[in-house]
Amino acid sequence: MRLLNRSAGRLSRHRRGPLAGLLVIVAGLLLSGGLFTAVVNTTAQADETASSDELVAQGRDLFLVSCAFCHGQNGEGVSTQNGNQLGPSLVGVGEAAVDFQVGTGRMPMAQPGAQVPTKPETFDDEEIAALAAYVGSLGPGPAIPDESDYSLEGLSDEEREAAISRGGQIFLTNCTACHNFEGSGGAMPRGGYAPSLHETSAKHIYEALLTGPQNMPNFGNGNLSPDEKRDVIAYLYSLREMPDYGGFGLGGLGPVPEGMAAWLGGIGLCVGFAVWIAAHTTRSNKKKVDA
Amino acid sequence: MDTSKVADSNRTTAATASKPNRVGAVATWADERLGLATLAKKNLRKVFPDHWSFMLGEIALWSFVVLLLTGVFLTLWFTPSMGEVQYNGSYEQLRGIHMSEAFASSLRISFDVRGGLLMRQMHHWAAMLFIAAMMIHLLRVFFTGAHRKPRELNWVIGCLLLLLGTLEGFTGYSLPDDLLSGTGIRAADGFIKATPVVGTYMSFLLFGGEFPGESIIPRLYVVHVLLIPGLLLALIAAHMLLLVYHKHTQWPGPGRTEKNVVGFPMLPVYAAKAGGFFFIVFGVTALLGGLLSINPVWKYGPYDPSKVTAGSQPDWYMGWPDGALRIMPGIETHIWGITISWNVMLPILVLPMLMFTILLLLPFLESWITGDKREHHLLQRPRNAPTRTALMVALMTMYGLFWAAGGNDIIAIKLHASINQITYFLRGAVFIGPVIAFIITRRWCISLQRKDNETVLHGYETGIIMRSPEGGYSERHLPLPESRAYALTARDRDPVVNGVEAGSDANGVPAPGQGRLAALRHRIRTMWYSDNVQKPTRDELDHGHHHAEHEHELQESMEGHAADGHQFDGHHLVDDESLRH
């Protein structure tokens, strides 16, 4: 008891100390945080509607700050005086469009131009989710695909192989005309371009197929079934994992870099050797004679 | 001279030949039956002059040998058939896909035949080098005037080799039947069909019916492995026989005339040099084939007329007509129910034929303009024929711009430019660029001629700055070594054209040929030579030397102490210094 009294006295002595408030807050946060993580799964499931409402509200706040200038305060789009669009309406573009555009750093756009390039993302994953939730709430549209939509998980080896070769043919039929035969990208009219697919994540490829960003046509599920989309992605990933059988790929751009290599490398080397051979002429003496 | 082997005694017994060694015995055996010694006696001593630019044609020759070797390897496994099969080889991404036997065997060569991919890639790289080497060889010949009499016909043969090499390359590019080669054949089909009136008939004849049919690959195969290689071999043989007959050209220099060739004999020197060069070209091809991927057919997949890929380009040597096609505005005429596609016909059918005809006729056009019908075995430096050099540079500029147009999509994505703007720019540039290049090159050559004359007359700049007792500064010039001065002045004097009336020669004597053609020729000829700088006359040379001697005399008082200047910076002892030059 004495011990208790003494410690209580010591506590009370520090009670009004300069760090006391901070310590109490930290302790409180740790406690509540720990409790939250312990029970979050059940509670989050329980009131999903409430939290998605919150997410939409959070997304709307972000939208008003970063997107509304071009897309309008309610995502209705903004037209300029001469009838062009500053930003298109986002009603019905779906969460997938937001996740693609913001997740690859294309949006928010730095400047108008022929095409919006990718750049380091401005928002983190939670903020992107909030923005997507808000835009998704404006009208029905394609949802963000789940990982199970584009993964080959659960298929047997044979099914996988069949999926990859099927995906390759779909890719060569539908995508290579713009994106090039191994997804290195290609030119589009007036400064536009089909970007390289070498680094694009599976989710973003899937979303691009669903929503048809910029110049790209929309490959809805009626066009390419979800399984076919999955197969295309599996084919592209198989190309990434495949060794370069022929040696350095020269950027995978076809005969133009090959021609440059033949001229600069091949002919350059041969002419260099010709100069060397002609410069080292014969002599009858072991000692070098000045000509 | 080594005189130790000469007999130094008078013997009383007759000299007898010692027993020949084995090699000698074999050689004698062969000579008695084939008469090789007579041939070899002359040709083993055939002289080649030493200069790097004389070896450019050899690159083409040796890469052709590499092509023959690797090509024979490929024919052992390639199946030239368009019959449909299901692929079950080791490339997983295409397993189960239906494709032509030609494509399946290309995959088999790439993945299942030991060393097959290396051979395929070496064959393709060697083809690229073969045509590139022919082109740089052609440029060297033209820039140095080696196409003049008596070598005009060899120029024609060379041009035919270039044309056949290009066709051979195109047929080879088409054989694997992958997406890229199929697109190429489809384009060729379009070009043929763009021929007015007979286009469709020719296409049906070539494809044995409607595109793609089943005959095109076997037909191209025969053309690729039999017809064109045979023609190439025959023409290469003719080209080299003429080379032997004409003897090699050489750069002017002391002891080198129109009637001799100064250089090294075939055996042992040039056999070693050229033979070694073969291994170098082989090595470069093997290096490229082993390290750099070329035409990865497995990624293109089998050809299917419904598919196409971005970056569909022909190999580089077909790039320039492709570029012309890409930048051509879409002009068509509809007449009596027939469409004439100028947009395809002009850039692909008319332009290459026109350019090839011009190329073929260049030596004849030049000799018609200059009136020079003499034999030439001494080469000209490019600067000493300014108009000819400028003409070829203008043609090269045009070629380069068309070439760039052929890669316009790659330029657009790599430089972040608009493909439309590139096209608009090139539409103008292919006409304006060559004119600008012509003017710049011509003036540049003339300036270089002036510089040569300056050096011959006043010596070369030594970099020694002299200060006169009055305080003036001048750079010390020293006379060129005799041999160099000889080489610089060993060129023909150009005909005088300025102020000469049409229809008369330089002395005002009426010359034959009064027609309109003669007048045109006179005008072109005047332009051809108009601003050329003549080499110095004997008087000018004497005057120049006299001037230099005088200069020396003036500076003689300083001879004792003058130096290259650096010693007189105040930090060095200068007592023992003498003039360095």
Q: What is the pLDDT of residues B224-268, one digit of tens each?
A: 999 999 999 999 999 999 999 999 999 999 889 999 999 888 888
A92: left (phi over 0), alpha (psi -120 to 50) or beta: left
Are residues A273 and B280, on separate chains, in Cβ contact within 8 Å? Answer: yes
The answer as to whether A277 is a domain residue is no
Reading the block at residue B56, the tokens are 């450019």
Spell out which residues of chain B touch residue A271, defining contact as CB-CB under 8 Å: 52, 56, 59, 136
Q: What's the one-letter identity of residue B184? A: G
Q: Do residues B459 and B351 share a domain?
A: no
Tell me which residue in A254, A259, A274 faces B56 most closely, judged by beta carbons: A274
| Most confident among A47-51, B1-5, B401-405, B543-547 (mean pLDDT) | B401-405
pLDDT score at B9: 64
Nearest to B292 among A187, A235, A250 (CB): A250
Bridge partner list, A288: none
ipTM value greater than 0.95: no
Q: What would the pLDDT profile of B348-359 be if each residue is shown by its tens digit?
A: 999 999 999 999
DSSP B462: E
CB of A259 within 8 Å of a chain B CB? The answer is: yes
Averaged in consecutive runs of 10 residues, what is the pLDDT profile of chain A (291 residues)?
Answer: 52 66 78 67 52 89 93 90 87 94 92 89 93 93 91 89 94 94 92 93 94 91 93 95 91 93 95 92 60 46
Question: Domain check: are A34 and A115 in the same one?
Answer: yes
Count of C-beta atoms within a 10 Å radius of residue B363: 23
**Coil, strand, or helix at residue A160?**
helix
Using CB atoms and an 8 Å cut-off, which of residues 217-246 of chain A contact chain B?
Answer: 235, 238-239, 242, 244-246
AA letter at B46: K
- Looking at residue B545, its pLDDT comes to 82
Instruction: Please check whether residue B422 lies inside any domain of the structure.
Output: no
State the residue range of the domain holding A38.
Answer: 25-143
Q: Do A273 and B277 touch (CB under 8 A)?
A: yes
CB contact A264 to B (< 8 Å): no
The pLDDT score that the predictor gives to residue B421 is 95
What's the DSSP call for residue B510?
A: B
From the CA of B50, how many Å to the nearest CA of chain A? 6
pLDDT in tens, B408-444: 999 999 999 999 999 999 999 999 999 999 999 999 9
Report if residue B130 sits inside a domain.
yes
Residue A276 maps to a domain: no
Q: How far apart are CA A143 and CA A135, in angstroms?
A: 11
Closest C-alpha to B150, from B258, B25, B6: B258
**A8 touching B, CB under 8 A?**
no
User: Do residues A111 and A35 both lie within one domain?
Assistant: yes
Q: Hey, are the CB atoms on A180 and B280 less than 8 Å from each other? A: no
**Is B145 contained in some domain?**
yes
Q: Which residues contact A110 (CB under 8 A, 6 or more apart)?
A: A119
**Which whole-number Å values give the CA distances from B524 to A195, B360, B365, in the listed order?**
53, 19, 11
Q: Do residue A178 and residue A216 come from a single domain?
A: yes
Do B274 and B56 contact (CB within 8 A), yes or no? no
B18 Cβ neighbours under 8 A, 6+ residues apart = none
| More confident of the two residues B13 and B456 | B456
Residue A13 lies in a domain: no
Last residue of a domain, one of B331, B359, B380: B380
pLDDT at position B89 over 80:
yes
Contact B49, B262 (CB under 8 A): yes
User: Half-sphere exposure (CA, 13 Å, Cβ side) for B551?
Assistant: 15
- Cβ distance of A277 and B412 shorter than 8 Å: no
**Cross-strand partners of A79:** A85
> CB A187 to CB B294 under 8 A?
no
Last residue of a domain, one of A120, A143, A166: A143
Kindly state whether residue A274 falls inside one of the protein's structural domains: no
Enclosing H/E stretch for A202: helix A202-211
Residue A44 shares a structural domain with residue A59: yes
Among A133, A101, A211, A192, residue whose Cα is nearest residue B417 = A192
CB contacts < 8 A (A, B): 211
Cα–Cα distance between A102 and A108 in angstroms, integer?
7
Q: Which of A117, A143, A169 is the last residue of a domain?
A: A143
Complete DSSP assignment for B298-309: HHH-B--TT---
Q: What is the model's pLDDT at position B60?
A: 97
Helix (H, G, I), strand (E, B) or coil at B311: coil
Q: Which residue has the tokens 């003017």?
A: B439
Regarding whether B466 and B355 lie in a shared domain, the answer is no
The reply to whether B420 falls in a domain is no
> If DSSP states are collapsed to H, E and C, what string results for B71-85?
HHHHHCCCCCCCCEE
pLDDT value for B415: 93
3-class SS string, B399-454? HHHHHHHHCHHHHHHHHCCCHHHHHHHHHHHHHHHHHHHHHHHHHHHHHHHHHHHH
CA-to-CA dists, residue B349 to B162, B194, B403, B406, angstroms: 17, 8, 16, 16
| C-beta neighbour count of B75 within 10 angstroms | 12
| A134 and A86 assigned to the same domain | yes
Residue A288 lies in a domain: no
* Among A residues 131-170, those touching chain B with beta carbons less than 8 Å apart: 161-162, 164-165, 168-169
* DSSP reduced 3-state for B315: coil
- Which pair of tokens denotes residue B147? 């196409």
pLDDT single digits (tens) B128-139:
999 999 999 999
A187–B410: do the CB atoms touch at under 8 Å? yes
Tell me how far CA of residue B101 lies from CA of A29, B218, B489, in angstroms: 71, 11, 64
3-state secondary structure of B474: strand
Quote the CA–CA distance of A115 and A191 in Å, as a whole number.
Answer: 7
CB contact under 8 A, A274 and B314: no
% of chain B exceeding 90 in pLDDT: 67
Q: Is A116 part of any domain?
A: yes
Residue at B40 is within a domain: no
Q: Would residue A2 count as lying in a domain?
A: no
* Cα-Cα end-to-end distance for chain A: 112
Closest CB from B125, B276, B307 relative to A176? B307
Identify whether B501 is part of a domain: yes
pLDDT in tens, B560-570: 554 555 555 55
- B579 pLDDT more than 50: no
Specify the number of domains making up chain B: 2
A263 touches chain B (CB under 8 A): yes
Q: B273 and A277: CB-CB below 8 Å?
A: yes
Task: Please identify, among B360, B380, B400, the residue that sits at the C-terminal boundary of a domain.
Answer: B380
DSSP secondary-structure letter at A250? G
**Nearest neighbour of B315 by CB, restricted to A239, A259, A269:** A259
Q: What is the CATH number of the domain that holds B140?
A: 1.20.810.10
- DSSP alpha helices (H): ranges in B297-350? 297-300, 319-327, 342-344
The values of phi and psi at residue A248, to 5°, are -60, 135
Closest CA of chain A from B423, distance in Å: 11
Beta carbons within 8 Å of B111's beta carbon, 6+ residues apart? A245, B89, B90, B91, B117, B298
Query: Would strands B460-467 and B473-478 be described as parallel, antiparallel, or unpaired?
Result: antiparallel
Which of A114, A269, A282 lies nearest to residue B418, judging by beta carbons?
A114
Verify that B372 and B483 share a domain, yes or no.
no
Could you list the residue range(s) of the whole structural domain that residue B195 is in? 57-305+316-380
Last residue of a domain, one of A80, A112, A143: A143
For residue B335, pLDDT beyond 80: yes
Do A115 and A167 share a domain, yes or no?
no
- Least CB–CB distance from B294: residue in A173, A258, A271: A258
Q: Is B538 helix (H, G, I), strand (E, B) or coil?
A: helix
> B129–A254: do the CB atoms touch at under 8 Å?
no
Contact in structure between B111 and A245 (CB atoms under 8 Å):
yes
Residue A263 domain-assigned (yes or no): no
Among A residues 268-287, those touching chain B with beta carbons less than 8 Å apart: 269-271, 273-275, 277-279, 281-282
Number of separate domains in chain A: 2
How many other β-carbons are positioned within 10 Å of the β-carbon of residue B217? 28
Closest among B251, B273, B477 to B379, alpha carbons compared: B251
CATH number at residue A68: 1.10.760.10
Q: Flag the least confident range among B333-347, B382-396, B491-505.
A: B491-505
Domain-embedded: residue B96? yes
Q: What is the mean pLDDT of chain B?
A: 89
Return the bridge partners of B477, or none.
Answer: B461
Same domain membership, residue A155 and residue A74: no
Residue B82 in any domain: the answer is yes
pLDDT in tens, B266-307: 888 889 999 999 999 999 999 999 999 999 999 999 999 999
Distance from CA of B482 to the nearest CA of A (A): 13
Distance, CA of B61 to CA of B278 (rounded, Å): 9
Q: What is the pLDDT of residue A46?
A: 47
The DSSP secondary-structure symbol of B53 reads G
